[in-house]
Each structure stands twice: as structure tokens, then as C-alpha cells.
Structure 1
Amino acid sequence: MNILRYVFLVFHLFGFAAILGGIFYQLRGKDPVTGGYMVTSAVVQLVTGAGLVWTRLSLDLPVSHAKMGVKLGLDVLVAVFALVGMGSRAAWAFYAVATVTAAAVIVAVAWT
């Protein structure tokens, strides 16, 4: 089960890296938009985040339910903004994805 937890962790980090890499790539152009890769990466974040919580609970490791609730809410917002941005090609949705992704990282790292 511990190996599965690390697999979920690696794919969770891959999902974050894909979103962040896409954000930096889009910032190079003059009209940044969200793409399908952001939606896919947001879904990867949701699924692997749930898997991480499940494996931690299965191994009787401590889980901060408040932190996980905030992270879940932020990850859902990233997915929603990415979906809206992909359909409308609006710049505000791109910046919303970037901002909420940054907030999710701060919560993940700073909240102990």
C-alpha cells in the first residue's frame, strides 16, 4: 500500500508540473488561454489527491481533513476554470487557473 501511495504522489506532482508548465508556456505568448492539457492535469490532480488521502487513511497515517477539504475545493476550482477557459478562450480563466493553482501549492506546502 505504501508503494501505491508513492505512485499517487508522483502522478500528483506530474499533474501539478503539467499545469505549471502550461502556464509558463502560455505566458510566453501575448494572448494566454487554457488548453485541454490543463483540464486533463486538473483531473489528474483530483484523482491522485483522492488516492493519496485514501492510502494515508488505509495505512493509518494522520490526515488533516480540513486541509484536504481546502485542497479539494481549490482543485475543483482549477478544473472548473480550466473547463470554462477552454470553452470560452477567455484570458481571465487562464489567470484564474494560475492563481488558484498557486494557492493550492501554498496550502499543500505551508499548511502543516
Structure 2
Amino acid sequence: MDVLINVFVGLHIIGIAALLGGFFTQMKAMGEGTAAFGKGMLHGALTMLVTGVALVGLNQADDQSVNNVKIGIKLALLVVILGLVYVKRDEEKVSPPLFGAVGLLTVANIFIAVLWT
């Protein structure tokens, strides 16, 4: 079971990298007001959602403790991120505050995962 959990953790990190990497590559464009949400950002957020739900299920099936409050907050942040990226995915440019919010929420989600023990 540990191997399967570790595979999903790796896939979850790949999703984070896709979402955050897409944000970082658009930071200069955000400063110019021409940033847009790429397909990679949407796929990264979806990967995070699917693998995150799988990780919770696998950890509970393995009788490991799961902090439901932490998972609920992370899920809420991810749903907001996914909603923003999905709704604005076809627009040629997204307003800088909205684009920055996605980056900020992504970083917040990472820090909650790492620092909340």
C-alpha cells in the first residue's frame, strides 16, 4: 500500500508543478496585463484534485489518521482554484488580480500541506 500511496503523492506533486509552473511562466505577462490560464494549469489542478481524493481514500484504507479539517480547507482552496481556471480558461487575457489570486491560493495550499502537521 505504501508504494501506491507514494505513486499518488508523486502524481500530486506533478499536478502542483503544472499549476504553479503555468503561473510562474505567465508572471511577466501578468505584469503587462496579458496573462492567460493555459491548459497545463487546468490539467494540473484536475490532477491535484483526483490524486488528492485518492490519497485521502488510500490513507484511510491503510488505517492512517487523516486530518479532515486540513483536507477540507485544502479541498476548498483547490475548488476555488479549479473554478477560476476552468471558467476563465478560454479568455485571451485574465485580469492580474484574478491571475495573482490563483497563484496565491496555490502557494497557500502548498504551505498548508507542508506546515500543518
Same fold (TM over 0.5): yes
User: Aligned residue for 2:109?
Assistant: 104
> Structure 1: which 5+ residue stretches go unaligned?
none
User: Aligned residue for 2:45?
Assistant: 42
User: Aligned residue for 2:85?
Assistant: 82
Contact 2:5 2:58 in 1 (8 A): yes
Runs of 4+ in 1 over 4 A off after TM superposition: none
Contact 1:85 1:94 in 2 (8 A): no
Classify the secondary structure of the residue corresponding to 1:86.
coil
Q: Which string of whole-angstrom CA distances, capped at 9 and with x for unpartnered residues, describes residues 30-68 of structure 1?
A: 322211111111000000000110110011111100000
Counterpart residue identity of residue 104, structure 1 = N
* TM-score normalized by the length of structure 1: 0.92
Count of aligned residue pairs for this structure pair: 112
Counterpart residue identity of residue 86, structure 2 = L
* 1:1-112 equivalences in 2 (<5 Å): 1-29=1-29, 30=32, 31-88=34-91, 89-91=93-95, 92-112=97-117
Alpha-carbon RMSD across the aligned residues, in angstroms, is 1.3
Contact 1:2 1:55 in 2 (8 A): no
Contact 1:8 1:48 in 2 (8 A): yes
Contact 2:26 2:36 in 1 (8 A): yes
> Structure 2: which 5+ residue stretches go unaligned?
none
Q: Which string of whole-angstrom CA distances, capped at 9 and with x for unpartnered residues, describes residues 54-101 of structure 1?
A: 110011111100000001111111111111221333223321211110
Q: Matched residues in 1 for 2:107 and 2:52: separation?
A: 16
